[in-house]
Structure 1
Amino acid sequence: MPTSQRKKISAKTFFNIFSIVLTVGCLSYFAFSENGLTTLAEHVHQFKIEWLIFAVLCMLSDLFLDTCLIYLFTKGISNSYTFRRAFKVCMVGHLYSAITPFQSGGQPMQIYVMTKQKIDAGNAASTLVQKFFVYQTSITAYSMFALIFQYGKEINLLSPIMVALTIFGFIVQGTAAGFLLVVSFNQKITNKLLVWATKFLSKIHLVKNYEKTLESWQVQLDSFHESNQYLYRNKSLLIKTYILTFFQLTSLFAVFYCIYRSFGFNKASPVSMIFSQAFVTMVSSLIPLPGAAGASELSSYVFMNPFFTPETVKPAVLLWRIITYPAVILISAPFSKIKSEM
């Protein structure tokens, strides 16, 4: 095996091991440090288990609504598409998003599974980009309202670094939404980007036949834009998917509020806590590690600290992390075996 290939493999292995160690280390810290999970055990008689069940149900609602969105988007290009197949694609997406940097492995694996389900690769990519466009614009709007609602409240209590990271995270999300808008509906600019990308990949020898590859990609791009035009014309589908995405984000952001109530607290506004969770997403999305290891725990601790007591904030972060990360991996993994047909 060439030396360069061995280096690539070892670097990837090191990265994966580092991510796992960091995740386990963070969970261990919140479990066993002062005022960690051991403190929670001392007050278990005060714990409201029904609210912890609601937290799990919120996480499951995120998975269910994501399946509904995949089904709705794909049903428009394949009348025979079933909810069961959409569920399969959802599970694969969540699993590979959780274990890859920047959640980058989710969509490629979903496209692969959809091709196994007899969906054309170009249509599959178009469907998932449309879904991502709705998600990205929705979370950008959510983040904007969070900044407006919480400005002068929690924002002013944060360190300048956390404020800067929060605002930068919002700018990144807004830029991504704007880029997707241009790519989705401006065919002239998209064609120029495609030509540039193909030339670049050809120069670095990742594309062997420039003309053939460009022609093939342009055919898929035309199909992609046709699908986007269908989405834009289908106002009913657009409205349904935005509503479902809003509920999906809200259910995921509400997990921490349910955990808050499970500790017996009830003074904080659910809206305020949900918007604070949006801040966590803004910051953690900047970290390239799988599951945003380290950043998720730290940002959750910072943004949720005002709502908890010093004795309960660490156990709360630990419970939130377990429900929204390892639990999702455990649920999605059994359903993620790749088969030729579902």
Structure 2
Amino acid sequence: MLLIGGGIIAYSLRTVNLHLLVRDFFTLNWWWMLVALLCICLYLGLEGVVVKIFMNNRHPDFTWKDAMRLPPIEQLFNGITPFSTGGQPAQLVGMLQCGVDGGLASSVLLMKFVVFQAMIVINFLISLVIGFHFIAEKLHALSLLVLFGFLVHLAVIVGLLLVMYWYSFTKKALNLIIKPVGLFMKPERYEKLRVNLNAKVDTFYQESLRIKSEYGKMWRVCIVTLCQLFFYYAIPYFIMLALGVHHINFVMVISLHVLIFMIISLFPIPGGAGGAEYSFSVLFASFIGSGSKLVLAMILWRLLTYYFGMFAGMVALLVKPDKIKHDIQDE
């Protein structure tokens, strides 16, 4: 991904005066860049807060260190897998390393994912009203991808809610799906697998019921997630301020970043490489008149929103997790 990113940046620089780009870099307002950096740190940190909220009354000894370790790991594995599919399994492994039961960890991650997707859809609907005419004018046919991206995220939420609220269907579907596996396994081994998976579904469903009944906790998670996304969506605004681009509409910039997020999610290449840079350059060209500043803004934006999380994830993998304590009843 670093090589692909380097190639895309090199391609973007082909028509740019490097002397001007270097000058723009050294005249950056580093205070605004610090605010942009703070935004991505808050984005990752608030996701850790969400994990801690979910785990608080289930495992009070689940530490802040373990909660804050998970989001960077998610960013790393999202960044190196197609359609960001690696983040959830990586978080699950991270929670298992802390001694959290697999069923509990799965249900917490599912609820976190459902809330995250729901807040993305809400933000998208608001941004669609504010900025879709702008994106339709600039990206033309790609504006259909934005709508398709919205439908994908909406379908994900509907599917997850069906799993959570249609327990009997989930168990029947699971047992139906694993039946062909029995053709390649010994009967006793297959039966052990079936019993184990059904037990995990039971644990998962019971934990989902518990979490769903805690409305206060869910509202707190929704508010924290909205704040988390706000800081992420605000990053391009502060990058433009750092480049000396003023008189820009804060709400419009955030709305366009929300729509870019939708476009990125549809590209099968890890991190939406290529599509992300193209969308940013086209949409924000109207705000940034200088070609060198536009490319520099795109590079800085990509470093903060993509590569920063990946490198933070590499560091997080080196951090030894704390082990939660299980009482006799849990055992």
| TM-score, normalised with respect to structure 1 | 0.87
Residue 259 of structure 1: aligned partner: 239
- Do the aligned residues in 1 keep the contact of 2:24 with 2:243 (CA within 8 Å)? no
Alignment match of 1:85 (pick from 49, 62, 66): 66
Residue aligning to 2:52: 71
Q: 2:222 aligns with which of 221, 239, 242?
A: 242
Change (3 A) 1:310 1:265: closer
Alignment of 1:120 with 2:120, yes or no, is no
Quick one: structure 1 residues 271 and 340, their matched pair in 2 at CA, closer, same or farther if it must change by over 3 Å?
Answer: closer
Residue-by-residue CA offset, 1:189-248 (whole Å, 9 max, x unaligned): 22233123223555687x994433222112111111111112221111101100111011
When residues 44 and 300 of structure 1 are mapped into structure 2, their CA distance, relative to the original with a 3 A threshold, is closer
Using a 3 Å threshold, how does the CA distance of structure 1 residues 91 and 47 change in structure 2: closer, same or farther?
A: closer
Equivalent residues of 2:139, 2:282 under 8 A apart: no
Letter in 1 for 2:311: L
Q: Does 1:218 align with 2:198?
A: yes
Supply the AA of the counterpart residue of 1:22: I
Residue type at the aligned position of 1:128: L
Check 1:200–1:257 CA distance in 2 against 1; reply closer, same or farther (3 A cut). farther
1: CA distance between counterparts of 2:111 and 2:302?
A: 29
Q: Do the aligned residues in 2 keep the contact of 1:198 with 1:213 (CA within 8 Å)?
A: no
Q: 1:43 to 1:160 in 2, by over 3 A?
A: closer
2:15 counterpart SS class: coil
> Paired residue for 2:213?
233
Distance across 1 between alignment mates of 2:39 and 2:301: 11
Given the superposition, is the C-alpha separation of residues 93 and 51 from structure 1 closer, same or farther in structure 2, using an over 3 Å criterion? same
SS at match of 1:33: helix
* Structure 2: distance between partners of 1:199 and 1:124: 26
Q: 1:150 is matched with which residue?
A: 131
Partner SS state of residue 264, structure 1: coil
Mean Cα displacement is larger for which, 130-139 or 299-308?
Answer: 299-308
Alignment CA distance shift 1:235-1:35 (3 Å): same
Tell me the secondary structure at the aligned position of residue 265 of structure 1. coil
Distance 1:72 1:290 in 2: 30
1:14 corresponds to which residue? none
Q: 1:269 aligns with which of 249, 261, 268?
A: 249
Q: Is the 8 A contact 1:95 1:336 kept in 2?
A: no
Equivalent pairs counted in the alignment come to 321
CA distance in 1 between partners of 2:147 and 2:184 (Å): 35
Asked if structure 2 preserves the Cα contact closer than 8 Å seen for 1:35 and 1:310, the reply is: no
Shift of 1:314: 1.6
Unaligned runs of 5+ in 1: 1-18
CA distance in 2, matches of 1:151, 1:90: 30
For structure 2, the residue ranges without an aligned partner over 5 or more in a row are 324-331
Structure 1 counterpart SS, 2:58: coil
Q: Which moved more, 1:326-335 or 1:138-147?
A: 326-335
The answer to whether residue 11 in structure 2 is matched with residue 24 in structure 1 is: no
For residues 267 and 100 of structure 1, what CA distance do their matches in structure 2 show?
38
Aligned residue type for 1:71: K
Q: Aligned equivalents of 2:194 and 2:58: distance in 1?
A: 24
Q: CA deviation at 1:303?
A: 2.3
CA distance in 2, matches of 1:323, 1:208: 51
Counterparts of 2:140 and 2:24, CA distance in 1: 35
- 1:129 equivalent in alignment to 2:104: no
Structure 2 equivalent of residue 7 of structure 1: none
Q: What is the TM-score normalised by the length of structure 2? A: 0.89
Name the counterpart of 1:8. none
Distance 1:186 1:115 in 2: 26
C-alpha contact 1:99 1:290 (8 A) present in aligned 2: yes
Q: Structure 1: which amino acid aligns with 2:153?
A: Q
- Which whole-Å CA distance do the structure 2 matches of 1:186 and 1:237 have between them? 22
Alignment of 1:303-318 (within 5 A): 303-311=283-291, 312-318=293-299
CA drift of 1:53 comes to: 1.1
Q: Which residue of 2 aligns with 1:10?
A: none
Out of 156-165 and 133-142, give the one that drifted further.
156-165
Partner letter of residue 166 of structure 1? V
- Larger deviation: 273-282 or 219-228? 219-228
Which residue of the other structure, out of 146, 150, 156, is the alignment partner of 1:176? 156
What does residue 329 of structure 2 align with? Answer: none
Q: What is the SS of the residue equivalent to 1:61?
A: helix
- Partner amino acid, structure 2, of 1:26: I
Judged with a 3 Å threshold, the aligned counterparts in structure 2 of structure 1 residues 164 and 209 are, in CA distance, closer, same or farther, namely farther
Partner of 1:4: none
The DSSP-based 3-state class of the residue aligned with 1:307 is coil
Identity of aligned residues (%): 26
Matched, 1:287 2:257: no
Q: Distance in 2 between matches of 1:160 and 1:202?
A: 50
1:107 aligns with 2:88: yes
